[in-house]
DNA sequence: TATGAATGAGCTTTCATTCAT
DNA sequence: CATGAATGAAAGCTCATTCAT
C-alpha cells in the first residue's frame, strides 16, 4: 500500500523476459511449430503462465518479431548521422544479422496479421530507406538499390548459413560479405526485375 | 498378386506423381504443416492411398526434396561442358531458383535424417563444386567461392523475395541478380569467414 | 464395387447413433458441460471418432436438439387429423414429454445459433400452432392459448419433476396433468401478459 | 487480528454482498459456467478475494441458492396468517418467481450436496406445505395438491418463459397464470402420478 | 486482508497413422 | 489395392484454486 511495490510486477516482468528468451531459443531450435509446453518448460514456468503473458501463441510470436523490429529500428536510427553512409549500411546489416536467429522469417509469416508488428515493420522500412538513400547519394551502393531491397535481404545471410551441413554460428558473415559486395556500385549489372513497392 | 499386369503399376505410378504434385502445391501454399488430408484431397485420392505410397509424412517430404535435388543434379551436369563457365553457373542458379517454391528450405529441414536425400544432396554438392571450379578457373567468379557456398545460396533469392509485402512471382530474379554480382571477382572484398566444409 | 456396399457406411451410421444415444444420456446425467471424452467413453469409441461425426461439440448438441424437434414435428403432424382436437393436443404434450430428458432446455440454448435447428424449431412451432388452433376452435382449450405457449410449456413438466428430491421417472405426468388442467377453458382466468410473438 | 474493529468487518461484509450480487447477475447472464474471473471483475475485486469469502465456487453458488431459499421462507411465513389462503398461495408463487432468474434451477443442481442448502430447502418445503394445507382446507386449490408440488413448480413459469425466442422480462406471469389455473379445484382432473415424498 | 501471478488439470480440437472392409 | 472410419497422442487454451507479496 505505502510503497507502490514494483516487486510483484518485477517478478512478472522477469517472467515475461524469461519467456521471450525461452521462446526465441526454442523457436530457433524447433521452428515455428515448437509447442507452448516446450517453451514453458524452457522458461521454467507452467503452461498457464505463458498464456497469462501472451494470450495466444500468435501474440507471443508477434512480441518476438516486434522486439526484433524495434531493435533494428533503433540500430538504423543510430546510424543515420554516420559520416560514412556506405559503412553505416554495412554496419546495419551486420548488426541486424547478428541479432537474428534463423526463424525470424517463419515467425514473421505467423505474425503477419498483427497490426503492431505491421506498424513496426513499416517504421523499420522507412528507417532503412533513409539509410539506403544516404548511401546511394554518397555513391556507396548501386544506384538501383532501395530500402525494400535491404529489408528483404536482412535475413538472407543467416538463412543461407542455416543450411550448412556443418553449421558455424558465424558463417552468416561470409554470405553477408557476398551480398554486401553485390550491393556495391562497382560492377553492378542491370537487375532483371524492379524493386518491390511498399504498401 | 494374381495379375501382375502393368496396368495396375501404371495406375500406381500415376497416383504417385499426382500425389507429389499435389503435395508440392499444398506445401507451397500452406507451409510444411499442411495436412495429409489436404494433400490427398488435392490429389483426388483417399488419405490411406497417401500412406500406401509414402509410409510417413517425412517420406513424402523426402521424395519432394529428393526430386528437386535430382533435377538440380541433372541441370548441373548438363551445364558442365558449357563454353562459358561463368554463364553456366549463373544459368544453374537461375534454373534452380526457377524450379523452387519457397518451402524447400523448410521441407529440407524435415527430411534431414533421410539417407537418400543426404546422398542426393552430396551428389548435388559435388556437381556444383565442379561447376564452381570451372568458373573459378576461368576467372568468372571470385577466387574464394566454393561449391558449398553456391549450394547454400540457391534458395536465398526465393527466400528474400518471399518476404515482400507486395509479392511478385519473379521478384527473386532481382535478388539473384544482386547475389550474382556479389559472386563476381570484380570488386570482391575478403570474406570474414571461411567456407563451410562438406561432411 | 458391384454391391454399393452399405457395410462400411452401416458401421459409421451405427456409430453415429451410438454417439447420439450416449451423448443424450451423458448430457442428461451431467448437464450440457459433459465432456466429449465422457460421451466417447460411453459410446465405446475414441474421442477422435466423435469429431469425425460431429465437427464441433455444438454440432453434436444441435443434432440432438434437432432430432427431438424432428420427432416432435412428426408427432404433431400425425395428430393433425384427430377427431378430438383437445385429446390430440394432450396426446402431443404427453408424447413430447415422454421422449424428453431434462436437458433439452439447456442444450437448446447452446444450439441457438444453428440454422438447421432454428428451421426445425420454426416448423415445430407451426405444427403446434395448427394443433392449438383446432383445439381452440373445438372449445377444448382456453381461447387465449397460442402455439407459442404450448411450445414453451413442453419441457415444463419434465423440468419441474427433475427437481424432486425423490426422483421418479414418471413424475412429470403429474405436472403435465396440472398444466393440462390449466389449459382448459373451464375456469380459465385472464392471463396477465400477452403471448410471445414468434419471430 | 490485532485491530478487530468493525470497519474491516464492515468492508468484508460489503464485499460479500457485492460478490453475491455480482455472481447472481453474471450467472443469470452466462449460465452456471460463468467464470470466477468474470464475477470478480463485475464485483470490482480481485479473484483472490472471491476465494477469501467463498472457499470454492460451489460454496458461492450455495450461498446464492441458500439466499433465495431463505427469502422464500420469509415470504411464505409472512403469508401464513393471510385471511385468503388461496390468494396467499398465489401471492407466494408470484413473489417467488419475481425474485428468480432463470438459473436457479441449474445452480440448485450444483449445490445439491451442500447441507446448509438442503436444510433451507427442507424448511422452505415445510413452510410451503403449511401454505398449501391452508389453501386446500379452504377449498382454494385442488385437493390432491401438496407442498412438494408447489415447491417443484416454483421455477416452471420462469423456465418456460426463458425459452421464448422473443424474450420479455414479465412473460413468466403468463405461464404462472396458466399453472395457477391448473391448481384450481374447478375442473381438476385426476392426476396420473402420486405426489413425490419428501425425504 | 487484498491482490493477481502462477499453477496444472482438463477441455475441445487436429492430425498422422492404422486397419477392417 | 483403394478407401475412409477409427484411433490416440499431442496441441492450444481456460479456469478453479493456491500463495507470495
Given CB atoms, is A108 within the 8 Å cutoff of chain B? Answer: yes
Smallest Cβ–Cβ distance between C182 and the set D161, D178, D198 belongs to D178
Nucleotide F9 C1' to residue B29 CA (A): 27
Chains C and D touch (3+ CB pairs under 8 A): yes
Chains D and A touch (3+ CB pairs under 8 A): no
Smallest Cβ–Cβ distance between A105 and the set B142, B163, B172 belongs to B163
Find the nucleotide nearest A5 (Cα to C1′): F21
Nucleotide F15 C1' to residue A145 CA (A): 53
**pLDDT grade, residue C5 (50/70/90)?**
very low
pLDDT tens for residues B92-128?
999 999 988 766 888 888 888 899 999 999 999 999 9
Higher confidence at residue C2 or residue A181? A181
**pLDDT grade, residue D46 (50/70/90)?**
very high
Q: Is C1 exposed, middle or buried (0-12, 13-18, 19+ CB in 10 A)?
A: exposed
pLDDT tens for residues D126-167?
999 999 999 999 999 999 999 999 999 999 999 999 989 999
Q: How much is the pLDDT for B6? A: 46
Average pLDDT for B75-90: 96
Nearest protein residue by Cα to C1' of nucleotide F15? D35
Q: How much is the pLDDT for A5? A: 42
Rounded CA separation A33/A42 (Å): 15
Closest chain D residue to the Cα of C159, Cα to Cα = D156
Element (H, E) at B197: none
- Chain A hits for B33, Cβ within 8 Å: 33
pLDDT tens for residues C69-113?
999 999 999 999 999 999 999 999 999 999 887 668 889 888 988
Q: How far is CA C154 from CA A18, B144, C125, in A?
A: 57, 86, 11
Q: Is the pLDDT of residue D170 over 90?
A: yes
Which nucleotides of chain F does any protein CB come within 7 A of?
1-21
Q: How much is the pLDDT for D113? A: 85
Smallest Cβ–Cβ distance between A182 and the set B178, B191, B197 belongs to B178
Given CB atoms, is A170 within the 8 Å cutoff of chain B? Answer: yes
Q: How much is the pLDDT for A94? A: 97
Q: Do A155 and B148 touch (CB under 8 A)?
A: no
**pLDDT grade, residue D14 (50/70/90)?**
confident
Q: Do B175 and A33 touch (CB under 8 A)?
A: no
**pLDDT grade, residue C3 (50/70/90)?**
very low
**pLDDT grade, residue D9 (50/70/90)?**
low
Q: How much is the pLDDT for A156? A: 95
Task: Report the share of chain D in percent with pLDDT over 70.
Answer: 94
Higher confidence at residue A60 or residue C6? A60
**pLDDT grade, residue B8 (50/70/90)?**
low
Cβ contacts from C onto D, under 8 A: 152
For residues C148 and D164, the answer to whether their CB atoms sit within 8 Å is yes
Nucleotide E10 C1' to residue D59 CA (A): 21
Query: CB < 7 Å to strand E — which of 47-66 in chain A?
Result: 47-49, 51-53
pLDDT tens for residues C105-144?
889 888 988 999 999 999 999 999 999 999 999 999 999 9
Any idea how long chain B is? 199
pLDDT tens for residues D61-98?
999 999 999 999 999 999 999 999 999 999 999 999 99
> How distant is the Cα of B9 from the closest Cα of chain A, in angstroms?
37
Four-residue CA torsion sign, B11, B17, B23, B28:
negative
> How distant is the Cα of C148 from the closest Cα of chain D, in angstroms?
8
For chain B, give the DSSP string.
-----HHHHHHHHHHHHHHHHHHHHHHHHH-TT--HHHHHHHHTS-HHHHHHH-SSHHHHHHHHHHHHHHHHHHHHHHTTT-S-HHHHHHHHHHHHHHT--TTHHHHHHHGGG-HHHHHHHHHHHHHHHHHHHHHHHTT-S-TT--HHHHHHHTTHHHHHHHT-SS--TTTHHHHHHHHHHHHSSTTPPPPSSPPPPP-
Q: Is C129 exposed, middle or buried (0-12, 13-18, 19+ CB in 10 A)?
A: middle
Q: How much is the pLDDT for D1? A: 38
Average pLDDT for B78-92: 96
pLDDT tens for residues D17-31?
999 999 999 999 898
**pLDDT grade, residue A6 (50/70/90)?**
very low
- Chain C hits for D33, Cβ within 8 Å: 33
Average pLDDT for D168-187: 96
Q: Do D148 and C164 touch (CB under 8 A)?
A: yes
For residues C124 and C69, the answer to whether their CB atoms sit within 8 Å is yes
**pLDDT grade, residue B199 (50/70/90)?**
confident
Nearest protein residue by Cα to C1' of nucleotide F3? B46
D96: Cβ contacts below 8 Å, ≥ 6 apart: D72, D75, D154
pLDDT tens for residues B134-145?
999 999 999 999
**pLDDT grade, residue D2 (50/70/90)?**
very low
Task: Report the share of chain C in percent with pLDDT over 70.
Answer: 94
Q: Do C174 and D189 touch (CB under 8 A)?
A: no
Closest chain D residue to the Cα of C122, Cα to Cα = D165
Average pLDDT for A151-177: 95
Rounded CA separation D21/D43 (Å): 8
Of the ranges B43-47, B185-189, D9-13, D156-160, which one carries the lowest mean pLDDT score? D9-13
Q: Is the pLDDT of residue C1 over 60?
A: no
Rounded CA separation D193/D189 (Å): 12
Q: Is the pLDDT of residue C27 over 60?
A: yes
Q: How much is the pLDDT for C100? A: 86
Q: How much is the pLDDT for C131? A: 97
**pLDDT grade, residue B5 (50/70/90)?**
very low
For residues B139 and B185, the answer to whether their CB atoms sit within 8 Å is yes
Strand E close to A10 by CB, under 7 A:
no
Four-residue CA torsion sign, A47, A49, A52, A57:
negative
Q: Is B169 exposed, middle or buried (0-12, 13-18, 19+ CB in 10 A)?
A: exposed
Query: CB < 7 Å to strand E — which of 31-90 in chain D?
Result: 45-49, 51-52
Rounded CA separation A91/B38 (Å): 45
Q: Which domains can be identified in chain A, with CATH numbers?
A: 1-55 (1.10.10.60), 57-183 (1.10.357.10)
Higher confidence at residue A110 or residue D74? D74
Q: How much is the pLDDT for D103? A: 66
Amino acid at each position: 500500500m505505502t510503497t507502490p511495490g514494483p516487486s510483484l510486477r518485477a517478478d512478472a516482468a522477469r517472467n515475461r523476459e524469461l519467456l521471450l528468451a525461452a521462446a526465441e531459443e526454442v523457436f530457433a531450435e524447433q521452428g515455428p511449430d515448437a509447442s507452448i509446453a516446450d517453451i514453458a518448460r524452457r522458461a521454467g514456468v507452467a503452461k498457464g503462465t505463458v498464456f497469462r503473458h501472451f494470450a495466444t501463441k500468435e501474440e507471443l510470436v508477434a512480441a518476438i518479431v516486434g522486439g526484433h523490429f524495434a531493435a533494428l529500428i533503433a540500430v538504423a536510427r543510430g546510424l543515420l548521422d554516420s559520416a560514412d553512409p556506405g559503412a553505416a549500411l554495412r554496419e546495419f546489416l551486420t548488426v541486424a544479422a547478428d541479432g537474428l536467429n534463423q526463424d525470424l522469417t517463419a515467425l514473421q509469416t505467423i505474425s503477419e496479421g498483427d497490426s503492431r508488428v505491421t506498424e513496426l515493420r513499416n517504421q523499420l522500412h522507412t528507417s532503412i530507406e533513409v539509410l539506403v538513400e544516404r548511401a546511394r547519394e554518397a555513391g556507396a551502393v548501386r544506384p538501383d538499390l532501395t530500402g525494400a531491397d535491404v529489408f528483404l535481404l536482412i535475413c538472407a545471410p543467416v538463412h543461407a548459413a542455416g543450411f550448412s551441413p556443418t553449421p558455424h554460428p558465424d558463417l552468416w558473415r561470409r554470405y553477408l560479405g557476398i551480398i554486401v559486395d553485390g550491393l556495391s556500385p562497382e560492377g553492378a549489372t542491370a537487375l532483371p526485375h524492379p524493386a518491390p513497392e511498399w504498401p
